[in-house]
Amino acid sequence: MNDNQLLRYSRHILLDEIGIEGQARLLAASALVIGAGGLGSPAALYLASAGVGRITLVDDDVVDLTNLQRQILHTTARVGQPKAESGREALRQINPEIDVIALRERAHDARLAQLVQGAGVVLDCSDNFATRHAVNRACVAHAVSLVSGAVIRFDGQISVFDPRSAASPCYSCLFPQDQKFEDVACSTMGVFAPLVGVIGAMQAAEALKLLMQVGSSLAGRLLLLDGREMEWTSIRIERNAACPVCGAAQAMLK
Cα separations in angstroms, 81 against 76, 91, 177: 10, 15, 33
Contact call for residues 241 and 173 (beta carbons, < 8 A): no
Task: Give the pLDDT band (50/70/90) at residue 211.
Answer: very high
Over range 225-254, report the average pLDDT: 85
Q: What is the pLDDT of residues 184-204, one digit of tens each?
A: 666 678 899 999 999 999 999
Check residue 41 and give its pLDDT: 98
pLDDT above 90 covers a percentage of the chain that reads 86
Q: What is the pLDDT of residues 214-239, one digit of tens each?
A: 999 999 999 999 999 999 999 999 99
Structural domains in the chain?
A: 3-253 (3.40.50.720)
Q: Tell me, what DSSP letter sits at residue 39?
A: T
186 is catalytic: yes
The answer on pLDDT for 212 being more than 70 is yes
Task: Give the pLDDT band (50/70/90) at residue 76.
Answer: very high
Contact call for residues 237 and 223 (beta carbons, < 8 A): no
Catalytic option among 125, 139, 173, 186: 186
Contact call for residues 116 and 33 (beta carbons, < 8 A): no
Check residue 1 and give its pLDDT: 87
Check residue 253 and give its pLDDT: 45
Give the rounded distance of the alpha carbon of 152 from its chain centre: 16
* Residue 205 to residue 71: CA distance in whole angstroms: 18
* pTM higher than 0.85: yes
The answer on pLDDT for 254 being more than 80 is no
Check residue 222 and give its pLDDT: 97
Over range 177-190, report the average pLDDT: 71
Task: Give the pLDDT band (50/70/90) at residue 179.
Answer: confident
